[in-house]
Amino acid sequence: MTTANPVIGVPAPPTLTRRQRVAPAVTLLLLSPIVVNVLFGAIRITFILAVLPAAAAWGLGTLIIRDLVRRRHRGWAAILLLGVALAIAEECVFLQTSLLPLIGVDPNHVYGRAFGVNWPYLLWALGYESVWAVALPILLVEWMYPERRNGPWMGSKGLVIASVVFVVAGLVRWYGWTQVFVPQNFPQWAHRPSPFTIVFALVAIGMLVVGGLKAPSSSETVRPATGAAPPPWLVAIAALGVGLAWSVLLFLAYGAAPTLPVGIPLLAGIGLAVVAILLVDRWAHRPGWQELHSLALASGALLASMSAGFLVLKGGGAPPVDFVGKAILNGIAILGLIHLGMRFRGGSD
């Protein structure tokens, strides 16, 4: 309900109900693991309840990142840097997926494994998780709640509680996965990472967090650019191509081309990431870039991950019900993107 402001005599902002206050945070908490795990196929329909512990990782982590960035009025560079920090925390500290020999692959012959690290897999994970688990869900939820897109979604107390729960949940997952589940069910792939590697990961996380919180604000990154923004369809195709190319790193990590010198995909992946970031930054600062262009960018990226995920299911020997369930959920996601596109074209945003 809108009330009159007794000081200046103009309508005051509407008072939000408790449900309206928490809705964006709860949506992001669930959407992040859905985008990065369920739509992709890493969490299958037959194991859909696994999305709950994933929400304690990706959902909480992404929610904390968004609040830190929005409180300091930082831009997308900060979100991506903090997203990479979150990916390192998951890959090298909590679940240690990039440090343990990849399950399903001969532990003595993991492609690109050196110094106790699965390098092609780690590079893929840093890019995939920072974009698909963090940046894209934040973008989508802010579109869902446009009136709340610029401010934090948690109070100071809520941010502290969320951070404590995130760390505690991370330690529980570390113990359950690395000390119980893998040794009991996959003893061949049980491995104790070097303490030096963990310390190095923690230092990298700290540096990324500091860098992200000190990144330029959204207003400071505004600069003139020449040329017109490309059409949305071209942005979508470019995002689709980059996303599919990035997925190649994952398949290589699982032995798709074991004789390929590992330096080639690593350098190619780093180059692809740099070119993609520079190109998107240049396009986004051109006159005419609108929400429809951002939606095209997000749609292309989501279509890439959803498409690659079918190969992940096939490689994991998933039953038909998981393919059908993933196809249905992917279809629902596409319909949601189309709905957003219609809204943006109508000029209501």
More confident residue, 223 or 120: 120
Tokens of 233: 């369809």
What band does 225 get if pLDDT is binned at 50, 70 and 90? low
Percent of the chain with pLDDT over 70: 92
Predicted pLDDT of residue 349: 44
Tokens of 123: 């590079």
Q: How far is residue 284's CA from residue 225's CA, in Å, rounded to a whole number?
A: 9
Count of beta carbons in the 10 Å neighbourhood of residue 173? 18
Residue 45 clears pLDDT 50, i.e. is over it: yes
Average pLDDT of the residues in 273-277: 96
Task: Give CA angle at 220 (216, 221), nearest 5°.
Answer: 80
Residue type, 43: I
| Interstrand relation of 117-118 and 113-114 (parallel, antiparallel or unpaired) | antiparallel
Residue 8 clears pLDDT 80, i.e. is over it: no
Average pLDDT of the residues in 135-139: 97
Report the predicted TM-score, pTM, of the whole model to 2 decimal places.
0.91
Closest CA to 348 of 333, 340, 293: 340
SS3 114: strand
Closest CA to 166 of 154, 151, 150, 179: 154
